[in-house]
């Protein structure tokens, strides 16, 4: 699957490390503060560079439940840009997005660390075996 493909964005299954992401970037922002200014400019610039970017007003189809789509988009994004503004922290939606981003990234880092430790143990065992043969 390629980033931004229809297959990638419709998958409900967890992604393995070998899968591609549906979005390169997820934008988290307070709409009333930055939607028509900074966020729009950033979104356009990213899109022009070929960076598949999730922005709630563009990517959620009419009639879809936003409370379901936002967490899914967070999980399907490779990176996140949190645009802090004067009213960002006063928005329950923004704080929920930020919490989901932090939880998902923590989970991802823990899985990466665990798999790295398995690889390191394997390499150490292999090295010990080679040294025994010498």
Confidence of residue 70 (pLDDT cuts 50, 70, 90): confident
Annotated active-site residue in 7, 58, 97, 110: 97
What is the rounded CA–CA span in Å between residue 64 and residue 85? 27
CATH number of 18-133: 3.40.50.10140
Identify the weakest region by mean pLDDT among 27-41, 48-62, 92-106: 48-62
Q: What is the mean pLDDT of residues 114-129?
A: 60
111 or 32, which is more confident: 32
3 or 6, which is more confident: 3
Read off the pLDDT of residues 84-112 as tens digits, 9 standing for 90 and up.
999 999 998 899 888 999 888 776 666 55
Domain definitions of the chain by residue range: 18-133
Buried/exposed code over 63-95 (b: 16+ C-beta within 10 A; e: otherwise): eeeeeebbebbbbbbeebeebebeebeebeebe
Bridge-partner residues for 60, per DSSP?
A: none
For residue 71, the model assigns a pLDDT of: 87
Q: What is the mean pLDDT of residues 69-79?
A: 89
* Percentage of the chain exceeding pLDDT 70: 57
11 or 90, which is more confident: 90
Confidence of residue 54 (pLDDT cuts 50, 70, 90): very high
59 is catalytic: no
């Amino acid at each position: 699957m390629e980033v931004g493909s229809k297959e990638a964005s419709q998958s409900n299954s967890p992604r393995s490390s070998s899968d591609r992401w549906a979005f390169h970037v997820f934008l988290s922002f307070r709409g009333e503060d930055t939607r028509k200014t900074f966020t729009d400019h950033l979104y356009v610039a990213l899109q022009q560079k070929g960076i598949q970017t999730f922005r709630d007003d563009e990517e959620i189809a009419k009639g879809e439940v936003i409370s379901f789509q936002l967490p899914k988009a967070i999980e399907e994004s490779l990176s996140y840009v949190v645009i802090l503004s004067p009213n960002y922290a006063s928005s329950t939606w923004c704080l929920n997005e930020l919490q989901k981003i932090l939880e998902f990234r923590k989970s991802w880092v823990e899985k990466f660390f665990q798999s790295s430790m398995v690889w390191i143990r394997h390499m150490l065992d292999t090295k010990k075996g080679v040294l025994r043969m010498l």
